[in-house]
Structure 1
Amino acid sequence: MNAVEVAPHRIAGLLAPAVDRTFRAGILAGRDGGGAELSQRYGGVTATGFLVDLRTRLAAPGGTVDGPGFAAITRYQDPVACRRTVDKQVAHGMIYRGTDGALSATERGAAFLTELYQVHAEVTEELWAGHDDRVARLVAMLGRLLSYALVLADEEANPVASSFAALAPPYEPDGTPSGVLLLNRLSTLRYHRADAHAAAWTAAGHTPSSIAALPAGPERLAIELETDRRAAGPYAVLSAEERLTMLADLAALPG
């Protein structure tokens, strides 16, 4: 690959499917490796669903996701259905909803998230066993990416509500295993791209429903290229060699 091919906007597009694949592998391993059983002990998906999605913020002591942040995270879902789901989780005593609409974990919800982090630690250790060096490199590079993305978010006027700002930086208590760091940093980076995508289709005059229905073709390609451009900023913190290393390391991880 030459320098043009690893420019920030190009690597943003190349990395997106690799990030998704690795993240999904970790999440599915967690579900199949004890997460589903854990959820059932706390009342099932009806009680725990959004806690899993919001874990990188709500696991933190005092962590909250405000109304606009939650709307951004769930922008492709029916807002009425989302509210009803939250109502059920409030009724199960897992989530607290403030008068301003901000969400936080109850004591019981926090206990669930503590156990979920433990499940993710166990399954990612097994899933990525033998790849310690790759995982360590990815954790370090993702840490730099997310830190720079937060700086950029403070400097830039965002045309859409930010799911990334709602969930970043991920909660990483002392002693968090490297597999959990990788999983949750990948998760948070995905929301950065999700905001870039939403900004791109908003600028093109779309809504969540219309972009979901947009078929492949020149218009969708243009939106994807604009998404890459808007998502590229944080990658400037990595050298061209590091960008390629990140891509290669993600490709080499099982899952």
Structure 2
Amino acid sequence: MNTVELAPHRIAGLLAPAVDRVFRAGMLAGRDGGGAELSQRYGGPAASGFLVDLRTRLAAPGGTVDAPGFAAITRYADPVVARRTVDKQVAHGMLHRGPDGALSATERGAAFLAELYQVHAEVTEELWAGHDERVSRLVAVLGRLLSYALVLADTDTDGDRGGSAFAALAPPHEPDGTPAGVLLLNRLGTLRHHRADAHAAAWAAAGHTASSIAALPTGPERLAIELETDRRAAGPYSVLSVDERLTMLADLAALPG
């Protein structure tokens, strides 16, 4: 593979499905490996669902997700349904909603998230056993990517960070002693939100809405939007060398799940 093939926009497109696969494998392992039972102890998905989605910010002491950030994270959901779901989780005592719509974890919600981090530690250790070097390498490279993505977001004069899913959840909460598997899982999840923002910007520039892009069939128009997504998502990958981009792709491909 030559350097043209590994240009930042090209690697952004190649990495997206690999990132999705590994992240989904980790989250599925968490659900099946104790997460579902944990959720039931706290009232079930109706009580804890958004806490899982927002964990990388709400697990942090004093962490909040503001209303524009939440709207970006849930851009494909019916806003009425999303609001009612939040209402239920507030009623369960898991989330607090401020007068401005900002969300934070209650004491009970924070306890749930602490246990969830432990579940994810246990299942990722098992899922990626024997791949310690690969996991460590991915954690390090993802840390660089996310740090640079935050710098780019701060210097982006054309975008609005206030309505960014990535900005709402980055950097992920990583208390001292967080196991490598949890670091990998949450950094992958945060990187997916960076691409989600790029995708939203691409389809909005093409005149679409969240509902119309969801209904758009495979074809030249969707391909053009995906290519534009790659271009908009490419920025952080410029911090990596060509060899590092290829190694990241190979490491993700080699992880089970």
| TM-score where L is the length of structure 1 | 0.99
Determine the C-alpha separation between the residues in 2 that align with 1:145 and 1:45. Answer: 32
State the match for 1:221 in structure 2. 223
Given that residues 9 and 231 in structure 1 are in contact (C-alpha distance below 8 angstroms), is that contact kept between their aligned partners in structure 2? yes
Structure 2: gaps spanning 5 or more residues: none
Query: Where does residue 235 of structure 2 map in the other structure?
Result: 233
- Secondary structure of the 2:159 match is coil
Deviation string, structure 1 residues 185-221 (Cα, Å, up to 9, x no partner): 0000000000000000000000000000000000000
- Residue equivalent to 1:246: 248
- 1:92-111 aligned at under 5 Å gives the runs 92-111=92-111
Counterpart for residue 172 of structure 2: 170
Secondary structure (helix, strand or coil) at the match of 2:5 reads helix
Correspondence for 2:33? 33
Deviation string 1:111-164 (CA, Å, 9 cap, x unpaired) is 000000000000000000000000000000000000000000011121682000
SS at match of 1:104: strand
Alignment partner of 2:197 out of 195, 198, 210: 195
Provide the secondary structure at the position in 2 that maps to 1:99.
coil
Q: Does the CA contact (< 8 Å) of 1:159 and 1:199 recur in 2?
A: no
Which deviations, in whole Å up to 9, do the C-alpha atoms of 1:34-75 show, x marking residues without a partner?
Answer: 000000000000000000000000000000000000000000
**1:53-202 maps to which residues of 2 (within 5 A)?**
53-156=53-156, 157-158=158-159, 161-202=163-204
Between the aligned partners of 2:213 and 2:160, the Cα distance in structure 1 is: 17
Relative distance call for 1:99 and 1:159 in structure 2 (3 A) is closer
Tell me the equivalent position of 2:209: 207
Q: TM-score, normalised by structure 2?
A: 0.99
Letter in 2 for 1:165: A
- Structure 1 contact 94–105 (Cα < 8 Å) conserved: yes
Q: How many residues align structurally?
A: 255
Distance 1:43 1:217 in 2: 43
In structure 1, list runs of 5 or more residues that go unmatched. none
Q: Aligned partners of 2:182, 2:5: CA distance in 1, in Å?
A: 30
Instruction: Report the residue type matching 1:195 in the other structure.
Output: D
Q: Which amino acid in 2 is paired with 1:83?
A: R
Aligned CA-pair RMSD: 0.7
Distance 1:150 1:19 in 2: 19
